[in-house]
Amino acid sequence: MVDRLYSIGEVSKLMNISIKALRHYDKIDLFKPTYIDPNTNYRYYDDSQLYLLDLIKSFKYIGIPLKEMKKVQELKADDLLVFLTEQEKFVKQKIDNLLQIEQTIASAKKGLQRIKEYPALEEVFFSDEEETQIIQTKADGINPTNILTASFQKLKRMTASTEGFRYNDYGAIFAYRPYTDIEEVSYKYLYTPVLTKKDTLELSQDTEIATIPQGKYLCIAFNSLTEQDYFTNLKRLLDYAEAHQLTVISDIFESLVNLHYSSNREKGVLLEMRMRVAE
């Protein structure tokens, strides 16, 4: 109910806004001083106008460009409510996207961590695996001798979060059987892990959600993509299970991991096969 004048320095301190910003607000007619001393050119502000800076600061905080703020200033309560509801939706969407990014980064980290802790290559080992949700599609004649990177791209393109942090997520499933030649191996499914809930909500016709169960797995990993190495290592896995009289209770899950993404270095891959065994 009283009023008083503040210098630009006082307003800056009171409102925690830089003098430079206040000068700029004056220049673009967003927040103008009540009085300018004609001799010194100093700006003076009214106490009762300070509340205007609250809105400017608030909208700056939620990311409204200064240009738009002049329009927002003029809004009456009803329209401001509509405007805020739009902003709220926009913020919720951004949060949603970031939560997905967070999930996908976590999954990528988990994959890298796994590589770091890998046991010796070309040797059979046991691993306790958590349950993994996957999106799978029928392999339709694809097998280890004709599979392409592109084969997986088609699958990935079908999933909603293609645009997510989806790499190193190449997988194929084939039956557990006493193979005697690589030509006998035929994939049943190609798969890619579910990264976010969104993946499962927007499935295309040819894909379905499946689960790689939690349990004890017999595994082998190797650093090669030749057909010979492929079969040698598959044979090691099968022979180990037979020699140790293990009961295999799943298909064989194969996954391909790219060890680095440098186009200047030799391609480094890790191919892993695993199958669940009775405990």
Restricted to residues 209-238, the positions that interact with its own copies (CB under 8 A) are 225-227, 230
Count of chain residues binding its own copies (CB under 8 A): 84
**Residue 195 to residue 103: CA distance in whole angstroms:** 7
If the CB atoms of residues 224 and 250 are measured against its own copies, the closer one turns out to be: 224
Site for its own copies in 109-138 (CB under 8 A): 109, 112-113, 115-116
Asked whether position 204 contacts its own copies by CB under 8 A, the answer is: no
Options 78-86, 125-133, 211-219, 241-249: segment touching its own copies (CB under 8 A): 78-86
**Residue 145 to residue 154: CA distance in whole angstroms:** 18
Minimum CB separation of residue 132 from its own copies in Å reads 19
Give SS3 for 211.
strand
Give the sign of the dihedral formed by CA 19, CA 23, CA 24, CA 28: positive
Minimum CB separation of residue 167 from its own copies in Å reads 4
Asked whether position 200 contacts its own copies by CB under 8 A, the answer is: no
Minimum CB separation of residue 69 from its own copies in Å reads 9
- The residues near 90 (Cβ < 8 Å, ≥ 6 apart) are none
Minimum CB separation of residue 181 from its own copies in Å reads 14
If the CB atoms of residues 70 and 244 are measured against its own copies, the closer one turns out to be: 70
Distances from the Cα of 89 to the Cα of 1, 74, 93, angstroms = 38, 22, 6
